[in-house]
Amino acid sequence: MRPSKDNMDKWVDFNGRYEKHECDIMLKDGTIIEYCWPNSGSFSQVANKKVNIPISDVMKIRYHDYFSRLKGENQDD
């Protein structure tokens, strides 16, 4: 399921619920980890499957529509 357009491309407070959609996460210590995928109570970084962050460490979340963004960048060529 896609997050609502209101929640795309901006940081929102993380309340423990997530959509099955790629996102960036901000940890409670302020660290930002980009291109993550939520699954079973944790987030895995898409490029590095060894990075696995429990949802309890997440303070904010930012959903993206990466495919549309890539299509938009390619249209400028």
Q: Which residue has the higher pLDDT, 15 or 48?
A: 15
Q: 58 near 66, Cβ under 8 Å?
A: no
Query: Which amino acid, 51?
Result: V
Q: What is residue 75's predicted lDDT score, i.e. its pLDDT?
A: 44
Q: What mean pLDDT comes out for the span 5-23?
A: 85
Candidates 26, 18, 25, 15; CA nearest to 46 is: 25
pLDDT for residue 72: 54
Asked if pLDDT for residue 4 goes beyond 80, the answer is: no
* pLDDT tens column, 34-77: 999 998 889 999 888 788 999 999 999 998 766 555 555 444 44
Yes or no: say if 36 and 53 are a contact pair by the CB < 8 Å rule: yes
